[in-house]
Amino acid sequence: MKIFVYPGSFDPVTRGHMDIIDRASRICDKLIIAVLVNNAKNPQFSMEERVALLRQALGERPNIEVRSFSGLLIDFMHVCGATTIIKGLRAVSDFEYELQMALLNKQMDPDIETMFMMTAIQWSYLSSSVVRELARNGAPIDPYVPDGTAEAIYAKYGKK
Count residues near ligand PNS (CB under 6 A).
Answer: 11
Q: Does 155 bind ligand PNS (CB under 6 A)?
A: no
The smaller minimum CB distance to ligand PNS, of residues 40 and 62, is found at: 40
Helix or strand (DSSP H, E) at 89 = strand 84-89
Q: Does 38 bind ligand PNS (CB under 6 A)?
A: yes
The smaller minimum CB distance to ligand PNS, of residues 60 and 96, is found at: 96
Asked about 128 being catalytic, the answer comes back as yes
Where b means 16+ CB within 10 Å and e means fewer, 39-58 reads eeeebbbebebbbbbbbbbb
Alpha carbons 1 and 4: distance in angstroms, whole number: 10
Give the interface with ligand PNS as residue ranges (CB under 6 A): 7-9, 36-38, 41, 72-73, 101, 104
